[in-house]
Each structure stands twice: as C-alpha cells, then as structure tokens.
Structure 1
Amino acid sequence: MSSRKPDILLIERGLLEHRPLSRFQSIFRFRSGLFSEWERIRLEFPSSRLLYYHPDPELEGIFARSLGATALQSLASDEPLHLAADDRGRPEKEIQILSQKPGIEIRTSSRLSLFRILDDLDGSIQQDLDLIGRARDTEAVADIELARWQWLTGPYHALSGVSVLGNPGNLMVHPSCEIGPGVVLDAREGPIILDEDVRISAFSFLEGPLYAGPGCRLDNLRLTGGNLLGAGCRLGGEVENSILGDYTNKHHEGFIGHSVIGSWVNLGALTTTSDLKNNYGEIRLKLPVDQFPDYDSEIVEVSTGRIKFGSILGDCVKTAIGTMINTGTVLDAGSNVFGGHPPKYLYPLSWGLTGRRYQTERFLADCEKIFARRGQSPDKEMPTLVHRLVSGKHPENMDFLGDGI
C-alpha cells in the first residue's frame, strides 16, 4: 500500500501566449509529449487530490470539472488551501501564499514554454516513455489512461515493405497500423511512435522524433524535424517541427513549420506558414492583454527569443485555400480566415479579415456538425466559453447565414 501523496495544485497563470490554445480547455490539457501535463500528473500521483486555480473564477470552475479537479474557490474557509477573496487576482502573491502551506505540490502552467517546447521533443517523448514504465509498477496500472499504452510493451507492427533508417529499436508501431509501400521511417534523430489505427499512404517520409495519435491519416506527407500529432489528424504536404492538436486537418499541399496548432483546426489547401524572417531577425508575437479581448483591447509584443518560429493557431481555426501566414502570426480560437493575408494577431471568432465576429450560434452549430463527422461532440461547457469570448462591445456578424468557407 503506497503512502498518501500530497495534494497537487494546478495553477494556470494565464500567460498571453497560452491563451489562444486555452479558450476551450485548460492549458494543462495541451499535449507536450506523449502526454499533457495533466495526464502526467494523473500517472505520477494517482491517489493525490487535484486542485485547480485560474485567475478567472468562472473559467476556474469550468476547467476544474474537465480536469477532475476541485476548484480552489470552492474550498471551505477552514481548508488549509483556502484562498481569501482579497488574495485572488494577483498571481505572484497567490503562489507565494499557497507554496507556504503544507502537504501540497504546486504545478504552474508557466513551466510550459511554447517557444522552447519544439526544441526537445525527443526528450519529452523519452521522459513520457520512462513515466509509463514507472507507472506500470504502481497502483496506476489499473488507470484507464495507462491501460491505453499497454501496447508499447509489444509486439509491434512487422513493417513489411517499409524502409527503416536508423535504429529499428526506435520504432514503436501499433500492430493495427496500415503502412503503404515505399514509406520511409527515419529514426536516426529520435523515436517514431505510431499509435492505434494510424494509416500512412505510399511513399510518405516520416522522420523522428514523432508521435502520431490514434486514427491519424498521413497521406503523401513529408514530416521532419520532430512532431507531435493528436488523435485523428489528417495530414498531407509538408510539416516540420510542429505540434498539432486532436482532429486537426492539413490534408493537402502546403507547408507548416515550427508552429503550435490547436485541435479541430482545418487548413485549406496550400495554406502555408513562414517560420523565418528574411533578415533572420528575432520573431515577436502580438497578443492582447485582456483575457477576453475585444477589438479595442491593448496589444503588446511578446518576444519568442528565437529566429525560427512559425505561428500559433487556436482551437477551431479555419483557413481558406491558399492562405499565406506570415512569421509569428497568432490566429486566435474560432477564427475563420479568408480574404487575404491575416494580420499578426487575429481576434477570437473573427469572421474573415473584416473586423467582424463569427455569429456565435452559427459557430456553435458548425462545431456540432464538424465534430459529428468524426463521431465526436463539443463539450457541454463550450457554449458558455464561446459566449465569454464575444462578451465585449464588438458585434457579431449577423449578416452571415451561410455554411462557412
């Protein structure tokens, strides 16, 4: 019987660069290796109580439920971790107060740097493989998340007709995968992990480090530089050193490089990101200060500290065919991009480049339709989260009655 683990407090700092990826879910659920930070904590501390803090009280309640955690604001005043209302809204002071309380381990979202995460995907994948190995020897073996990874113990796919470069021991391919003739798996730079029911068309080239989630469809694809692909992604063309969330589509020609892309994104044919400035200068992002930005919100520049960085695309972003995305562009969640080159920052639920909003009820109806095509449905909290995003003064596009672009 294991000793009692400490309470784990997840503190979401609301960093500006995290917000486009955390409009509809906590950033703790963002995949940064085989796992998200939330999944790692569940495996590492299976018997611990999870608590969750967010600077916005309403988001704290919503995201805590999706994390299976207790919202910090719901704790009774006699709880050791109770935080007085006067102490909320000042993250540095809050963390200082909470870190001094006994029996607690704090994990803050500031540990996740979107600007450094792409540099060592090999290390992130290996750490998660090690975590799975350790968890097998604990009570977590019955955990449903760990059970899903039992296939990593083998046997693996026979890889008949596949060209393998590098150490074959770096290949972990689920036996249910379908791999066409002439596919090249290059494991010289890191492991390649292909999860259940991944399908790869003939003559695709996949370079490690790579994780492709269950149900990915990889067709006529060149994948290089280290990549993480969520469940159900459909990809073609060229992708380099990027992270793509669940059910994201880039199924046609075009280039995506050094980018961080959310879930349920659809990139029209020939959509391309730039990831290097012509003068090799440092890449800076433009991001709004407000948690729920409107078109008159203050915009600030955020340094990435690097000369190679593509774009950040939030959940449910859509781009028209031929969209060219400049270096360091941020397309916030729910944007429908058409009509030219998007600006350096595009607000949530933007409708084209007109400065108008996507009508919220139509957006939600479109999400229902799009999710259903993959046998999924939006989270029940999504309408609340969407309406929070457009709670400012800028009007929705009430003229829009079509089916989208």
Structure 2
Amino acid sequence: MNPILFDGPAREHLLPFTFTRPVCDIRMGILTIREKWEAHLGTTASCKTEAYLSVKFPMRTAAENTFINAALLPNPKLVKAIGLLGASQKLMAGDTLVAYCTSGDPDREAVNSFENVPFKGELVEIRRTWDIFSKNGAALEADFELLTKGRKSEPISATNSLICPERIFLEPGAKVEYSILNATDGPIYIGKNAEVWEGSLIRGGLALCEHAVVKMGGKIYGDTTIGPHSKVCGEVSNAVIFGYSSKGHEGYLGNAVLGEWCNIGADSNNSNLKNNYAKVRAWNYGTRSFEQTGLQFCGLMMGDHSKSAINTMFNTGTVVGVNCNIYVPGFPRNFIPSFSWGGASGFSTYMPTKAFEAAEVMMARRGVEFNAVEADILFHVFDLTQEWRNYS
C-alpha cells in the first residue's frame, strides 16, 4: 500500500493550525495523525495538501495509491477495511469519504464515480479546532496502548509517589524526580529524554513527548499533550501543545491548543468558562463566523509562531492566528487575525520581515533553521489572511 493522507473538507475548519501544516500533521494523544497511520499500516505515508505547503510536505505517488481522509484517526477495524479496497473503490461512512484506491490522482468528480463500499465501524474524526483538545483523551488512550503494548517501562525513580504505576510508562532517557504521578483517570507517557522536574503534580492522561519538560512545581491535569521540545509550568489542563512551544512560567492554560513555536508569557491566563456558564462560541475560518462549539469549557486556540507578553489575559474561546504578538494589558478581542501586533487597546500589522527575525532567533535556540521554505509558507499565510486585518 502507498498511503496518501488527504486534507479534505475539514481543513478550512481546522485553521489556523492548517495554515502551516497538512491536517495529518496535527498532534493528538501522543502521535501526530500521520504517525498514527504509519504505525498502524507499517509504512510511511505522504500527504495531499495545499499547493503552497507541498514543497515542505510533498505527495509521493506510486502505481497504486490509497488515499485516506486525514481527519480520521485510525483503529484496527478501519485499517482492515481500507486494506481490502480494490482499484476504483471508495470507503464511505454515511456521507463521509473515508478512503479510496486508485492508480493515479483523480479529481473529486472521478472519485464520486468509484464503487461505494460502506463502513459501519466506529470513527473518531476531527472536524473543528476544539475537537483537538476535547477528543484528546481517547486519542491518548489509543496511542498509549499502541506504543507500549508488549513493552516494559524504564525504571521510575523511587523519589516519586505513584498511583496506578502500571499505567505510567517512561521511554529511554526520560527523567522524573520528586513528583506525584496519578494515572487513575488516564495513562501517563513520558517520552524519550523528556523530563519532569522536582515538585510537579501530574494527573493523567498525559503525553509528555520527546525532549519536552515540565518545570519545577508544574501542575498538569488530563487530558494533556505536551509536544516534542516544549516546556511547561504553572497550571495546564486538557491542553494540546504541538511542539517546540513554551508556557514556561506560572499562569493557567486550559481546554486549549497551541501550535508550534508559540510562547506564553509569565503569569498569562486563559479563561475556559463563561461567567454565566453558557456554551462557548469560537471563530471558525471555514464558516467565516463565530460558531457554537457545544462546549461549556473552551479556552485558547493559538496558531504557530504566536506569542504573548507577561500577564496577558485571553477570554473564553479566543482564536489567535499565525505570527501574532500580543502584549497590551487587558483582554484582547477573541478573534485575532494572523500577523497582528498589539492587544486590548488595538492592533497593527506585524510585518513578515519583523516576524521572521523573531522566528529565526527562536528556532535557532532549538537547533532548527528558519529557511526559505518556512518563509515562503508564512508569506503565503500573510497574503491569505489580509482580509481580516483592517490595520493601517
């Protein structure tokens, strides 16, 4: 099988995170969606995404290709059904196109003519940005089972206090000292060379991915994912951090999603519950409007390369785009377009050349190069999001 994960209609509803990555590179649980499919299929996968992302995320075709909806998380029954597809067949779950098998890269009209094969099993699908954190617990449980089955955890230091230790797994190089880990309500996975510093209180489920750090005194509630090379402290609850981002000081982050290369300033907080306990509305790029999430708890969604200064306050259901710099005291608006600079008293355009200077320095600190490919993607995002910036 040559699997190709295609973005599909969910992409527009998953902005701002899919401004800078295909749908399959969204992280939920421990792994990205691409990594989940690769683990289940036992082979590498490429993706079919927007043209401006294709240099960094190319599609690889073969004589026979199996295209899979990247908004769907794999499970054994689904993987088996996809593996049974023949040429010019498509797997359908109601109105949802799950996968199709073809010798080329046909357009949607051609795919519509393929033979229907119904799928009646369970599907976990991400349709909106808030699904990333609200469905994170199920994804974390599935990934934990996938990655630890038949394996033994590295020894856990006796300095720690453990509850349900059989649900706690440390990869090689992981370090945890003088902390309390409670896996009663969800597994705790500590990735390769990840660290939990002294005095931390952790309640699963938690995925602390490779080289990530919980700093001293961190208070982490499930279901939370802290992506590779990220650092957190303070209070974090049901948040997903894709990777290379930092919330390194006190303050609250809850029911939230952060992209890559974000930085949350010291003592910053987001609200995740309205004062009247009403369901939360949040901006949806796909519908170009604020949409009812159906959730009582919904905090902050922040795109790649965005940052906040110390003591920043985010209102319930705030959506921040790519390359924003928020630093003025008070609550800023709850939809902040990409490349915005300012805060509660107003915004101006954060010009790409200035934004790229900060990105280059931040990435270099982690040993990653900010290159022409990254710049081209962000220039494209700047142009795509111009309509939402009415700043002089």
TM above 0.5, yes or no, is: yes
SS in 1 for 2:260: coil
SS in 2 for 1:22: helix
User: 1:38-91 deviations in whole A, cap 9, x for unaligned?
Assistant: 112222234587451x4x4434x33542xx5459xxxxxxx854445xxxxxxx
Report if aligned partners of 1:283, 1:306 keep a CA contact under 8 Å in 2. Answer: yes
Change (3 A) 1:338 1:316: same
Moved more, 168-177 or 258-267: 168-177
Report if aligned partners of 1:213, 1:231 keep a CA contact under 8 Å in 2. Answer: yes
Report if aligned partners of 1:238, 1:253 keep a CA contact under 8 Å in 2. Answer: yes
Kindly report which structure 2 residues correspond to 1:33-72, keeping only aligned pairs within 5 A, or say none: 33-47=29-43, 50=46, 52=48, 54=49, 56-59=50-53, 61-62=54-55, 64-65=57-58, 69-70=60-61
Give the structure 2 partner of residue 284 of structure 1. 281
- Count the aligned residue pairs: 344
User: 1:159-180 deviations in whole A, cap 9, x for unaligned?
Assistant: 2110012x21101013422323
* Aligned counterpart in structure 1 of residue 340 of structure 2, from 350, 353, 367: 350
User: If each structure's strand is expressed as a fraction of its own residues, which one has the higher value?
Assistant: 2
Q: For structure 1, list consecutive stretches of 5 or more residues without a partner in the other structure.
A: 72-78, 85-93, 135-151, 291-298, 399-405
Give the structure 2 partner of residue 101 of structure 1. 114
Report if aligned partners of 2:2, 2:61 keep a CA contact under 8 Å in 1. Answer: no
1:188 correspondence with 2:203: no
SS in 1 for 2:154: coil
1:275 correspondence with 2:288: no
SS in 2 for 1:34: coil
SS in 1 for 2:233: strand
Kindly report which structure 2 residues correspond to 1:6-405, keeping only aligned pairs within 5 A, or say none: 7-13=3-9, 15-47=11-43, 50=46, 52=48, 54=49, 56-59=50-53, 61-62=54-55, 64-65=57-58, 69-70=60-61, 80-83=103-106, 94=108, 97-98=110-111, 100-101=113-114, 111-132=126-147, 153-165=151-163, 167-181=164-178, 183-219=179-215, 220-288=217-285, 299-340=288-329, 341-353=331-343, 354-378=346-370, 380-391=372-383, 392=386
Report if aligned partners of 1:180, 1:200 keep a CA contact under 8 Å in 2. Answer: yes
User: 1:268-315 deviations in whole A, cap 9, x for unaligned?
Assistant: 01110000001111101124459xxxxxxxx41122111111110111
Alpha-carbon deviation of 1:356? Answer: 2.0
Runs of 4+ in 1 over 6 A off after TM superposition: 102-106, 393-398
Change (3 A) 1:358 1:34: same
Distance 1:395 1:115 in 2: 23
Report if aligned partners of 1:236, 1:252 keep a CA contact under 8 Å in 2. Answer: yes
Which letter maps to 2:290? E
Distance 1:45 1:202 in 2: 39
User: 1:77-111 deviations in whole A, cap 9, x for unaligned?
Assistant: xx854445xxxxxxxxx3x74254379999x9964
Q: For structure 2, list consecutive stretches of 5 or more residues without a partner in the other structure.
A: 63-101
User: 1:172-221 deviations in whole A, cap 9, x for unaligned?
Assistant: 0134223232x100111011010122222221101111110111221220
Give the structure 1 partner of residue 87 of structure 2. none
SS in 2 for 1:262: strand
Report if aligned partners of 2:15, 2:129 keep a CA contact under 8 Å in 1. Answer: no
Change (3 A) 1:380 1:128: farther
Change (3 A) 1:131 1:109: closer
Change (3 A) 1:364 1:303: same
Which letter maps to 1:123? A
User: 1:321-367 deviations in whole A, cap 9, x for unaligned?
Assistant: 10000000001111001113221110111111343221212211221
Distance 2:105 2:118 in 1: 15
Report if aligned partners of 2:13, 2:285 keep a CA contact under 8 Å in 1. Answer: no
Report if aligned partners of 2:251, 2:267 keep a CA contact under 8 Å in 1. Answer: yes
Report if aligned partners of 1:230, 1:246 keep a CA contact under 8 Å in 2. Answer: yes
Report if aligned partners of 2:34, 2:45 keep a CA contact under 8 Å in 1. Answer: no
Give the structure 2 partner of residue 401 of structure 1. none
Aligned-pair Cα RMSD in Å: 3.2
Change (3 A) 1:173 1:82: closer
Give the structure 2 partner of residue 294 of structure 1. none
Distance 1:155 1:255 in 2: 31
Distance 1:164 1:133 in 2: 18
Which letter maps to 2:296? I
Report if aligned partners of 2:304, 2:322 keep a CA contact under 8 Å in 1. Answer: yes
SS in 2 for 1:193: strand
Which letter maps to 1:127? A
Distance 1:316 1:322 in 2: 19
Which letter maps to 1:284? R
TM (normalized to structure 2)? 0.78
